[in-house]
Chains A and B, each alone.
Chain A
Amino acid sequence: MNPTDLVQTAVSGLANGALYAFVGLSFSLVSRSTGLINFAQGDLTMLGGMLTAVMTEATVPLFIAVPLAALICAAISGGFYYFAIRPSTRATMSQLVIITVGLSILIRGAVTSIWGTDPRQVPPFTAGGPIAVGGVSILPQQLWLIGLLAVVAIATTWFFRRTVLGLALRASSGNALGASFVGIDNRVLGLFAFAAAGFLGGLVGAVWSPIAYAQVDIGVGLGIKGFTGAMLGGLHTAYGPLVGGVLLGIFEAFTAGYVSSHYEDALIFALLILALLLRPQGLLGGANSTTQDERPEQILSTSVRATTFGRRDFIGIAIGIAVLGLIGAVLPGVWVSNAIFAGIEAMAVIGLVLLTGFAGQLSLGQAAFMMIGAYASAYLTVRSGWPPILALMVGAALSVVVALALGRIIFRLRGFYLSMASLGLLMIALTFAREWYGITGGPSGFVGIGAFSLFGFDLGSDTAVYYTVATFVVISLLFGMSIARSRIGRALLAIRSSESAARACGVDVVGLKMRIFAFSAATASVGGSLYGHYLSIVNPSPFGLDATIQQLTAVTVGGFLSLWGALAGSLLTVALPQLIGWVSGSVASQFIAGIDYIIFGLLLIGIVMTQSNPALHRFRMRLSHRGTGAAVDAKESVRAP
């Protein structure tokens, strides 16, 4: 490698680094003032680029389009804080993650249904080709981006040192209670931070869009990379997000240029997980910073929950099996395949209910285990000629091994960090699925997988597949229930309310989380195997972020603590696209996908808001008191771990 190439790589890395620095700064602003990680941050940046693209296509001059795009993003972000987050005072960490994921999906859905998924071009701010300086060429637009970063860096320094609002933000992030004693209103800071983060995100999206394209899909990756940069440099430091973002951009350019352009994303997400583990306070962070959020996970539900197997459970299971059996016999053909997909999704959702609902650990990476199961089944049955059931079991075992290995790493983290790390893991898995041709067949996937069979019986007809899936679902449900209704279930609820208290009572916190994570990995993996056999093809696309979002919505709709709700939620989320098609009479898949996302997003935000708004909560308590007698309160306080 010659020196000119090195400089050239560094320069292009610097421009992308400026982008990540901006996104990271937005994360940092929000996190420092409210303690939240806004999972919609990357989508706000995407929206800024999209709005600029659409406006310039409508011949709006750039000097109007760019600020306007940033202001719209600021209004959306600030409005989201004011109307959705601020009233949700009873929300737990997991619920707050879900509510910001809801905004992320809502933005993606709106953009998809209005403008589609095609990339859009934005003209550069200044005309002319690349500027060459001693063999190194740089685009004028890259200079714009780097220049803007310099301006923002100076403005940030001034803001945090010389303005009262800046001091108040730092004070509140260091000691929120102390801040409220001197009259700082943390909600005002939250509104400001969300609006400013939206503005910065939208602005950089607008400035960056001429370099790449404006496209709906870039939001998530951008979000994770910006967050990674901020974590590298120090999320809660003044310059950490800027330094970390620039370093990440340069790191990315060099890995793509000199190590592997296929696995660069996987390397970046691996870097995120490493950073979270080894130096959570960041390169510039002092020793005091912490990644442990102190917000207690409150009890989501106020109704009394059975904690032992009772007669009602046996009756419920008997009815459930009867209903599932009957459905298979009477369901019209088109609906059988919906029921199969719902059952497959339910396999993942059942694990998620235990992991998120009971143990309070919000993983966004469950689809990775479906992927492991699907590819293991595909590879072992097609290439090695194994019987499907054996391949399925090996896939599940492999998932458990991976889950245990990863669990050791990610369960040292809590709250937002865990969700972000698991999302990073999913991205790594997706990269491998796309790039590791020898095993996975690359983006086009693995074709020619035979139908599922057991002891030589071919179970390929839709009805047979339905009963196979239903059987696995019932087995998982029984497993899940026996965990939920045992002392493990009670211990999990204890972990969710207070990890330290649970530990003090002798609960093996990490061990239990690992076991539940392994269980959820195994069920998801079996679901993935069945998926592969049913479709006879496995490729990476169904296991991406869409699957995660669908599962998350299913858990939220079904109720975090309800295993039966997992089935209902899965059915709803699987059937929703078709319902939208019927209702709207549209067959345009992009439109349906967009509306689908909008509904998912609204569901996530709406459900969490009603669960965590104190006024609504009291109202529901009154309703339930009327229904089941006023003893609920007393019982709950006795049973609450």
Chain B
Amino acid sequence: MLRVRDLHVSYGDIHALKGVDLDVNDGEIIAILGPNGAGKSTLIKAIIGVLPKRSGSIAFQGRAIDATPTAQRIRLGLGTIPEGRQLFPDMSVRENLILGAYARLGFLIPASLDEALEQVFGIFPRLRERENQLAGSLSGGEAQMVAVGRALMSRPRLLLCDEPSLGLAPLLVREVLATISRLLEAGITVLLADQNALAALRMADRAYVLDTGRVVASGPSASLAKDERLWTAYLGSGVAARM
């Protein structure tokens, strides 16, 4: 479904991704693991097109999307729950959700959008109560619901989730992960970047471990959980040997 080959991305002089290969198949949950600064968010930003790549290729459903603008990538079926949610604080929940469908909207907001909104409210009834409240005034859990709902408004087939549990209370983390499992049942493939390696591995079919811009290990979750390279990436070499 998604095929990334030898992807290089840099911010100015900082070379953040140094040749990343990644494959996501239909219906999988793929975890991207790695410590802070490993390049997880950069990878997701490059896939959705918010950051330009320096070299390499990205293909989605057999189509090269390297040079495609973000809006077009979203229309092809990519969606994002960005790191830190990135909601529009001074707009209402409803307006935030509408903007999730921005890529396929014209000049005016069509009445047919109500259907998609109803679907999101079906999943998160709390958001219906908060429909006209400003997104900036929501609690962390509610804001996360808006972020998920906004991503669903574009009807993605592959959802890129960047640290969906960051900054949430443990109880809410479980709720978010349960929501993501539900998405899978609805036929959405999920790419999940998370620092919380154990939780992500429990959900994922396969995982990639990133360290300073390179894939240092990859494979099925079960075998990767025991892989020394995973722990080396987080804790540094030598530590894993003593464990």
Q: Which residues of A contact B99 (CB under 8 A)?
A: 167-168, 171, 179, 182, 184
With both chains docked as a complex, state the minimum distance between the C-beta of B189 and any C-beta of chain A, in angstroms. 18
* Cα distance, A413 to B197, chains bound together (Å): 44
B69 interface hit (Cβ, 8 Å)? yes
Q: Among B72, B85, B87, B99, which residue has the most Cβ atoms of chain A within 10 A?
A: B99
With both chains docked as a complex, state the minimum distance between the C-beta of A138 and any C-beta of chain B, in angstroms. 37
Q: Which residues of B contact A184 (CB under 8 A)?
A: 71, 99, 102
The answer on a CB contact under 8 Å between B70 and A185 is: yes
B100 interface hit (Cβ, 8 Å)? yes
Q: Which residues of B contact A165 (CB under 8 A)?
A: 107
The answer on a CB contact under 8 Å between B91 and A178 is: no
Q: Which residues of B contact A174 (CB under 8 A)?
A: 88-91
Say yes or no: A175-B102 contact (C-beta < 8 A), given A180-B50, A185-B70. no
The answer on a CB contact under 8 Å between A178 and B90 is: no
Say yes or no: A178-B13 contact (C-beta < 8 A), given A164-B109, A167-B99, A184-B102. no
* Cα distance, A177 to B100, chains bound together (Å): 14
Residues 597-641 of chain A, each 1 if its beta carbon lies under 8 Å from chain B, else 0: 000000000000000000000000000000000000100010000
B100 contact from A163, A182, A185, A633, Cβ within 8 A: A182
Q: Which residues of A contact B100 (CB under 8 A)?
A: 182
A162 interface hit (Cβ, 8 Å)? yes
A170 interface hit (Cβ, 8 Å)? yes
* Cα distance, A286 to B106, chains bound together (Å): 30
A181 contact from B86, B91, B98, Cβ within 8 A: B86
A288 interface hit (Cβ, 8 Å)? yes
The answer on a CB contact under 8 Å between B91 and A167 is: yes
* Cα distance, A171 to B88, chains bound together (Å): 6
Residues 73-89 of chain B, each 1 if its beta carbon lies under 8 Å from chain A, else 0: 11000001010011111
The answer on a CB contact under 8 Å between B103 and A183 is: yes
The answer on a CB contact under 8 Å between A288 and B95 is: no
Q: Which residues of A contact B80 (CB under 8 A)?
A: 181
* Cα distance, A167 to B110, chains bound together (Å): 13
Q: Which residues of B contact A168 (CB under 8 A)?
A: 99, 102
Would you list which residues of chain B between 101 and 117 have a CB under 8 Å from chain A? 102-103, 105-109
Q: Which residues of B contact A177 (CB under 8 A)?
A: 50, 82, 86
Residues of chain A at interface, number, CB under 8 A: 23
Main secondary structure of the interface of A (DSSP, over half): helix
The answer on a CB contact under 8 Å between A178 and B107 is: no
B150 interface hit (Cβ, 8 Å)? yes
The answer on a CB contact under 8 Å between B71 and A185 is: yes
With both chains docked as a complex, state the minimum distance between the C-beta of B202 and any C-beta of chain A, in angstroms. 27
The answer on a CB contact under 8 Å between B91 and A183 is: no
Q: Which residues of B contact A171 (CB under 8 A)?
A: 88, 91, 95, 99
With both chains docked as a complex, state the minimum distance between the C-beta of A344 and any C-beta of chain B, in angstroms. 41
Residues 260-293 of chain A, each 1 if its beta carbon lies under 8 Å from chain B, else 0: 0000000000000000000000000010100000
* Cα distance, A183 to B104, chains bound together (Å): 9
With both chains docked as a complex, state the minimum distance between the C-beta of A61 and any C-beta of chain B, in angstroms. 31
B154 interface hit (Cβ, 8 Å)? yes
* Cα distance, A178 to B86, chains bound together (Å): 5
Say yes or no: A167-B98 contact (C-beta < 8 A), given A177-B86, A185-B70. yes
Say yes or no: A175-B88 contact (C-beta < 8 A), given A163-B109, A164-B106, A288-B136. yes
* Cα distance, A286 to B137, chains bound together (Å): 13
With both chains docked as a complex, state the minimum distance between the C-beta of A150 and any C-beta of chain B, in angstroms. 23
- Which A residues fall within an 8 A CB radius of B? 162-165, 167-168, 170-171, 174-175, 177-185, 286, 288, 633, 637
8 pairs from A and B in contact (CB 8 Å cutoff):
A163-B108, A164-B105, A164-B109, A170-B91, A171-B95, A177-B50, A183-B71, A183-B72
- Which B residues fall within an 8 A CB radius of A? 13, 48, 50, 69-74, 80, 82, 85-91, 95, 98-100, 102-103, 105-109, 136, 150, 154
9 A-B pairs closest in CB distance: A178-B86, A183-B71, A183-B103, A171-B88, A174-B88, A164-B105, A183-B74, A183-B70, A182-B102
